[in-house]
């Protein structure tokens, strides 16, 4: 260890280790079934690995173009046109990123100036606020309604000031599994109409929506699409969270600004993996089948908990299930999640970790992106408390 005596003026004094790392570490220390962090415990398909290996063997191992390999940007453009009816220009309007997290950070860094305000919805995904604060912006919180986690648009309207530079939305929503409707997007479009507010739309779970719903992307709303940057993640879609590859979409004027930061932030993203994904995603059934795949897992997990004392909240999308536990315990959600991990043997995330003010509604989040045997083993333990 090297001891430093520098007086460091931290840009993020309140930030410690994320709750996901803390709970995953605790789960592994206790040998608990880890339903905390959002990653699958099953393999992606061999065809994806084959295509990636082939790209390596073909010598595609050097820097790709800054915006991403042409094959992948073309495949993304085709997917978007067929899903949302909007044709993005692969040259100017699509950039491949090192996961959604980097896309979100870079978008914030490109548009948010010191002192600007950014509206986020609480509970809020953990990377947004530190990203805003790193660049000197100020997060302004709109509460989602409990327990259905829908936005209160009148409250959002009241939060807008001349300093509001950006609104970040996330649908399907982590941690709640709620989704925005076409009406929500229409109201948002109306709220921002006469402003220069940029909408940053985190749609990493775009292919995981249940019960016959269609994902409402800002991409399919012309007025919003013109002022939005939309972010997605191949990690979520193809069961490869560790590859850290995603993309961002936006009108050429916005994308130009995004790329100014991107080129000095990461510059480019792993070449052979991009080519492997481009090849793999040409078979649309691989993303179109995802909703059904996870709907079965959701239903299986909910069935496991039916005879338990947890109260399950609705789950319209994502691979997360929220559960109230007030019939089991009066502990705070952090204490409950720790007890669940240590004494019951199942790790979950306390939802207060997503609330900047620590608001605690007595709810924990389980990740059901797991094999059935994992979910069944967890269910057996959870039914006993
Ligand atoms: C809402 C949301 N946005 C972004 C991310 C980050 O995605 P990536 O792993 O591609 O950086 C996640 C991952 O859990 C997420 O849940």
- DSSP conformation letters of 202-226: E-TTTT-B-TTPPP--GGGSHHHHT
Nearest alpha carbon to residue 301 among 289, 291, 315, 290:
315
Q: Please give the backbone phi and psi of residue 271, each rounded to the nearest 5 degrees, phi first.
A: -65, -55
**pLDDT score of 137:** 98
What distance in Å separates the CA atoms of residue 288 and residue 207, rounded to the nearest whole number?
Answer: 7
- Given a contact cutoff of 8 angstroms between Cβ atoms, the answer to whether 231 and 197 are in contact is no
Q: Kindly give the distance from the C-alpha atom of residue 241 to the centroid of ligand 1, in angstroms, as a whole number.
A: 9
Q: Kindly give the distance from the C-alpha atom of residue 204 to the centroid of ligand 1, in angstroms, as a whole number.
A: 6
What distance in Å separates the CA atoms of residue 359 and residue 80, rounded to the nearest whole number?
Answer: 37
Helices and strands (H, E) in the chain, number of each type: 15, 13
Q: Kindly give the distance from the C-alpha atom of residue 14 to the centroid of ligand 1, in angstroms, as a whole number.
A: 21
Query: Which atom of ligand 1 is found nearest the CA of 202?
Result: 3
User: By three-state DSSP, how is residue 326 classified?
Assistant: coil
**pLDDT score of 182:** 97
- Given a contact cutoff of 8 angstroms between Cβ atoms, the answer to whether 209 and 202 are in contact is no
Q: How far is CA 278 from CA 41, 219, 248, in A?
A: 23, 21, 15
The token pair that represents 175 in the structure block = 């941690």
What pTM does this model have?
0.97
What distance in Å separates the CA atoms of residue 297 and residue 191, rounded to the nearest whole number?
Answer: 37
The token pair that represents 313 in the structure block = 């909240």
The token pair that represents 44 in the structure block = 């992606």
User: By three-state DSSP, how is residue 321 classified?
Assistant: strand
What distance in Å separates the CA atoms of residue 180 and residue 183, rounded to the nearest whole number?
Answer: 8
**pLDDT score of 18:** 83
**pLDDT score of 382:** 98
What distance in Å separates the CA atoms of residue 121 and residue 139, rounded to the nearest whole number?
Answer: 10
What distance in Å separates the CA atoms of residue 47 and residue 298, rounded to the nearest whole number?
Answer: 26
Q: Which residue's C-alpha comes closest to atom 14 of ligand 1?
A: 38
Mark the ranges of the chain whose per-residue pLDDT is less than 70: none
Cis peptide bond N-terminal to 123, omega within 30: yes
Locate all alpha helices (DSSP H) within 227-382, ordered by sequence: 234-237, 252-265, 271-281, 285-288, 290-305, 333-339, 372-382
DSSP conformational letter for 123: S
Query: Which atom of ligand 1 is found nearest the CA of 102?
Result: 11
**pLDDT score of 65:** 97
**pLDDT score of 293:** 98
Q: Which residue's C-alpha comes closest to atom 1 of ligand 1?
A: 174
The token pair that represents 91 in the structure block = 């040259």
What distance in Å separates the CA atoms of residue 275 and residue 271, rounded to the nearest whole number?
Answer: 6
Pocket test for ligand 1, best of 24, 101, 173, 322 (most atoms within 8 A of CB): 101
Query: Which atom of ligand 1 is found nearest the CA of 104?
Result: 4
Q: Which residue's C-alpha comes closest to atom 13 of ligand 1?
A: 38
Pocket test for ligand 1, best of 39, 124, 174 (most atoms within 8 A of CB): 174
- Chain-centre distance of CA 271, in angstroms? 23
- Given a contact cutoff of 8 angstroms between Cβ atoms, the answer to whether 344 and 385 are in contact is yes
Ligand 1 binding pocket (C-beta < 6 A) is: 38, 99-101, 125, 170, 174, 202, 204, 233, 235, 241, 244, 246
Pocket test for ligand 1, best of 127, 131, 233, 369 (most atoms within 8 A of CB): 233
Burial status of residue 361 (CB atoms within 10 A of its CB: 0-12, 13-18, 19 or more): middle
**pLDDT score of 199:** 98
Nearest alpha carbon to residue 371 among 33, 49, 46, 50:
33
What distance in Å separates the CA atoms of residue 88 and residue 92, rounded to the nearest whole number?
Answer: 8
């Amino acid at each position: 260890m090297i001891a430093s005596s520098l007086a460091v003026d931290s840009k993020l004094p309140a930030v410690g280790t994320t709750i996901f790392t803390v709970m995953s570490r605790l789960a592994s220390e206790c040998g608990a079934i880890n339903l905390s962090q959002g990653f699958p415990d099953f393999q992606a398909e061999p065809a994806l690995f084959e295509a990636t290996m082939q790209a390596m063997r073909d010598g595609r191992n050097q820097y790709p173009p800054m915006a991403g390999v042409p094959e992948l940007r073309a495949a993304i453009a085709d997917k978007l046109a067929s899903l949302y009816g909007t044709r993005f220009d692969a040259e100017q309007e699509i950039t491949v990123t090192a996961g959604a997290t980097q896309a979100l950070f870079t978008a914030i860094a490109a548009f948010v100036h010191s002192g600007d305000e950014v509206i986020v919805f609480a509970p809020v995904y953990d990377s947004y606020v530190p990203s805003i604060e790193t660049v000197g912006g100020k997060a302004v919180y709109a509460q989602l309604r409990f327990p259905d986690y829908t936005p209160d648009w009148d409250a959002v309207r009241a939060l807008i000031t001349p300093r509001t530079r950006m609104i970040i939305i996330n649908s399907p929503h982590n941690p709640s599994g709620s989704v925005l409707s076409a009406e929500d997007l229409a109201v948002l479009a109306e709220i921002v109409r006469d402003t220069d507010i940029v909408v940053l739309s985190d749609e990493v779970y775009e292919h995981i929506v249940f019960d016959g719903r269609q994902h409402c992307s800002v991409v399919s709303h012309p007025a919003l699409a013109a002022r939005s940057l939309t972010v997605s993640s191949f990690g979520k879609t193809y069961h490869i969270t560790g590859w850290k590859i995603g993309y961002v979409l936006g009108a050429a004027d916005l994308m130009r600004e995004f790329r100014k930061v991107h080129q000095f932030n990461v510059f480019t993203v792993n070449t052979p993996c991009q080519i492997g994904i481009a090849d793999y995603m040409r078979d649309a059934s691989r993303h179109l089948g995802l909703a059904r795949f996870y709907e079965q897992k959701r239903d299986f997990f909910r069935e496991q908990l039916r005879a338990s004392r947890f109260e399950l909240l609705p789950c319209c999308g994502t691979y997360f299930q929220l559960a109230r536990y007030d019939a089991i315990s009066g502990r705070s959600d952090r204490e409950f999640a720790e007890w669940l991990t240590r004494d019951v043997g199942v790790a979950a995330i306390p939802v207060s970790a997503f609330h900047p003010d620590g608001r605690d509604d007595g709810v924990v989040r389980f990740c059901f992106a797991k094999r059935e045997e994992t979910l069944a083993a967890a269910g057996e333990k959870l039914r006993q408390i």
